[in-house]
Amino acid sequence: MAIAALKGVEEHFKQSNPRTKSAFLDELDSAKKILLDTRPTEPLMRNALRCLVSAVGRSSLEDAVSLLDLVSSASKGFLKELEESEKKIAEIGSRRILDGSTVLTHCHSSLVTRILGEAKNQGKEFQVFCTETRPLFQGRITAQELTSIGLSPIMIVDSAVRFFINGVNLVLIGADAITSEGNVINKIGTSMVALSAREARTPFYVASELLKFDPTTVYGEYTVIEERDGREIWMSPPEGLRLRNPAFDITRREFIHGIICEAGIISPDAVMREAEERYPWLAFDA
């Protein structure tokens, strides 16, 4: 979503013609609001747009052509930073995958897939359990990707996690957002996996770029938990039945063994400090 948002903003300004910096910022603000309304739980996209707003707002440039070049340059810089972060996270995270170990993951995370792929490239042999991840079965994406790189994952239903957890050496999941308290927002069901892992004393790791830190939570805001159409659960339910379909849940920091990020494997309560040190423009209002 962040990549699509950046490309969308660039395309918008190629077609529009704001004559002043003020008009340019107004259009950028409008585009930002439209994009953010499409996905409430998406701090990576929010931070990508924050990066553009910061670059334009702090620039001394005034003409629209130069500002468009600046937006394009800032977009490319953000994406390069993101790719470098993900490469570093894969290298760091792969060291936690030991030869002969068993890993459990929930939902789909390109970072988790990348970590597991890097561990395989190092010649390690290990087993992976993938939850199917109801209601939209994103775990199947993970299973397909792992199969395509030569791993042989085992798929289980979400409710079977506790049955298998005692045979798991570590849990590795991604994140949609990280709050100022170090709590992690991820696909619904993640907190139940974390609870099972804690009961079994199985390390629970989160792989995430620091760019998924949500700076609005510093000022008392809560990350919005998106609730989706109940028809994802049951397309034709009986009349009178109500369906609730939250897309995400919150895993509190005390359940998290460590967050694997571009700064290393850090404690959840260190996320805000590390994020603000690496990306000072995160404090810029967006």
> Distance (Å, rounded) from C-alpha 5 to C-alpha 156?
34
214 is catalytic: no
CA 163 to chain centre: 27
Domain ranges of the chain: 2-87, 92-279
41 pLDDT more than 70: no
58 pLDDT more than 90: no
Q: Which residue is it, tokens 């805001």?
A: 221
Burial state string for 158-196 with b = 16 or more CB within 10 A and e = fewer than 16? beebeebbeebbbbbbbbbbbbbebbbbbbbbbbbbbbb
Greater confidence (222 vs 230) lies with 230
Q: Looking at the domain 92-279, which fold is it?
A: Rossmann fold (3.40.50)
Percent of the chain with pLDDT over 70: 92
| CA-CA-CA-CA torsion sign (133, 192, 211, 95) | negative
Greater confidence (37 vs 80) lies with 80
176 is catalytic: yes
What was the pLDDT predicted at 8? 72
Token readout for 146 is 């792992």
> Please, which pLDDT band fits residue 15 given cuts at 50, 70 and 90?
low
Which is catalytic among the residues 51, 107, 130, 261? 107
2-87 and 92-279 share one CATH topology? no
2-87 belongs to CATH 1.20.120.420:
yes
Least confident of 53-62, 113-122, 143-152: 53-62
CB atoms within 10 A of CB 107: 26
CA 48 to chain centre: 13
5 pLDDT more than 90: no
Mean pLDDT of the chain: 90
Which is catalytic among the residues 130, 176, 214, 261? 176
282 pLDDT more than 90: no
**pTM score above 0.85:** yes
